[in-house]
């Protein structure tokens, strides 16, 4: 046994220190980033926020709405090939440019993804997604996918430490997905005692990835737009959101009514709810590592996105970053023991 000294930090432990700025207005801030990749020759530009590949969030409907903002959607892996065919036929180039195809690491996943990519050359992104990206089997699968798709942008995860980021990039990933345990409906830290505070994970993993000309996605743990700004400030290239996008028209959660108010169900992909939905059972050797929550229904995702992008632009003006790309360079974090003033929370329903 060994103890690593030095406290690791989460979003709640820091604030971004304001800096002198020549920007006159938030409208001057450019959130579009242009990326080139380690393996893929694709040049992609857009706002590097990603709707999570959870079955309630990463829907085709979400992709249609978010592509209007040049934001990505990681489509969940439970759509059939037939669903994909219908989606691709009905979607413009622009929508497909903002879509990430998610897969697990089974043989069926491998066969299906080959068929999905035959549907359109406009599909550029693959996300190989497992809860624990530290397994040898996962690394072998990544190598296989890189061999089959030499020019696609491959994201792989999740991991939280620099040495594993390096291994995944060397094995064929353009982008590594970072986050174990920070998610809004995740109970991994409680069930297993395993995890890594997200801000420190970003700082350490971004450093490892950028050294090899790779990129990272910070996945999980953002609960307000300030957290997204902190994730970018810490060095993340992309930020993935689940909970912040839940409860909207574009989601596929069930709606329930209570005292004439509408709520939508949102659950983790390792929750009992998800496992029962897709495997019809909870396997005996597994424990659930996700929970189900009921959240007030929020209507169209557009309003939430505008609010998030407004917050992000404002963060950039506070530190004088004319482009989102400059945010990391202009970020100094201060460690804090306070965040929001919660005096009026007692009046919340
Ligand atoms: P959020 O933005 O809601 O904080 O986090 C979203 C992320 O949580 C997802 O992209 C995924 O990585 C993670 N996640 C989703 N469902 C589960 C689950 O059931 N268990 C765990 N451990 N993580 C989950």
Q: How far, in Å, from the CA of 242 to the mean position of ligand 1?
A: 7
**Pure H helices in 75-135:** 81-90, 93-96, 107-119
The verdict on the CB of residue 222 being under 6 Å from ligand 1 is yes
pTM over 0.85: yes
95-133: pLDDT as tens digits: 999 999 999 999 999 999 999 999 999 999 999 999 999
Q: Is the CB of residue 222 less than 8 Å from the CB of residue 245? A: no
Distance CA(315)–CA(317), nearest Å, equals 5
Residues designated catalytic: 186
Q: What is the pLDDT of residue 104?
A: 94
Distance CA(119)–CA(89), nearest Å, equals 9
Q: How far, in Å, from the CA of 37 to the mean position of ligand 1?
A: 26
Best residue for ligand 1 mutational test, from 51, 54, 100 (most atoms within 8 Å of Cβ): 54
The verdict on the CB of residue 293 being under 6 Å from ligand 1 is no
Task: Please report which confidence band the pLDDT of residue 21 belongs to, taking 50, 70 and 90 as the band edges.
Answer: confident
Q: Give the contacts of 297 (CB within 8 A, at least 6 positions apart).
A: 247, 248, 255, 262, 263, 264
Distance CA(108)–CA(98), nearest Å, equals 24
Distance CA(237)–CA(225), nearest Å, equals 16
Known binding residues for NADP(+) are: 108-131, 216-239
Distance CA(270)–CA(195), nearest Å, equals 16
Q: Is the CB of residue 205 less than 8 Å from the CB of residue 8? A: no
* Distance, CA of 248 to chain centre: 17
Atom of ligand 1 nearest to the CA of 274: 19
177-231: pLDDT as tens digits: 999 999 999 999 999 999 999 999 999 999 999 999 999 999 999 999 999 999 9
Q: Is the CB of residue 63 less than 8 Å from the CB of residue 99? A: yes
Q: Is the CB of residue 83 less than 8 Å from the CB of residue 76? A: no
Terminal C-alpha separation, the chain: 46
The verdict on the CB of residue 270 being under 6 Å from ligand 1 is yes
Count of beta carbons in the 10 Å neighbourhood of residue 100:
25
Task: Please report which confidence band the pLDDT of residue 348 belongs to, taking 50, 70 and 90 as the band edges.
Answer: low
Residue identifier of the C-alpha nearest atom 17 of ligand 1: 268
* Distance, CA of 10 to chain centre: 16
Q: Give the contacts of 343 (CB within 8 A, at least 6 positions apart).
A: none
């Amino acid at each position: 046994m060994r103890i690593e000294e030095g406290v690791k930090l989460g979003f709640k432990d820091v604030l971004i220190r304001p800096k002198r700025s020549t920007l006159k207005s938030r409208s001057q801030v450019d959130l579009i980033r242009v990326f080139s990749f380690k393996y893929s020759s694709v040049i992609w530009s857009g706002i590097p926020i990603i709707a999570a590949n959870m079955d309630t969030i990463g829907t085709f409907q979400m992709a249609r709405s978010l592509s209007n903002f040049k934001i990505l959607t990681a489509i969940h892996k439970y759509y059939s090939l037939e669903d994909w065919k219908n989606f691709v036929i009905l979607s413009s180039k622009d929508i497909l440019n903002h879509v990430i195809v998610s897969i697990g690491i089974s043989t069926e996943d491998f066969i299906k993804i080959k068929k999905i990519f035959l549907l359109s050359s406009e599909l550029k992104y693959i996300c190989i997604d497992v809860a624990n990206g530290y397994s040898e089997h996962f690394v072998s699968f990544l190598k296989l996918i890189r061999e089959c798709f030499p020019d696609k942008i491959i994201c792989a995860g999740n991991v939280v430490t620099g040495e594993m980021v390096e291994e995944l990039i060397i094995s064929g990933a353009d982008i590594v997905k970072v986050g174990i345990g920070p998610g809004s409906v995740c109970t991994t830290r409680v069930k297993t005692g395993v995890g890594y505070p997200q801000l420190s994970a970003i700082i350490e993993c971004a450093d490892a990835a950028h050294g090899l000309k790779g990129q990272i996605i910070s996945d999980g743990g953002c609960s307000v737009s300030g957290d997204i700004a902190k994730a970018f400030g810490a060095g993340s290239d992309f930020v993935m959101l689940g909970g912040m996008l839940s409860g909207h028209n574009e989601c596929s959660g069930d709606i329930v009514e209570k005292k004439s108010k509408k709520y939508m169900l949102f659950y983790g992909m390792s929750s009992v709810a998800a496992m029962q939905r897709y495997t019809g059972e909870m396997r005996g050797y597994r424990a659930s590592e996700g929970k189900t929550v009921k959240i007030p229904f929020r209507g169209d995702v557009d309003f939430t996105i505008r609010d998030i992008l407004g917050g992000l632009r404002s963060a950039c003006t506070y530190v004088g970053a004319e482009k989102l790309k400059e945010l990391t360079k202009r970020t100094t974090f201060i460690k804090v023991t306070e965040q929001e003033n919660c005096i009026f929370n007692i009046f919340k329903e």
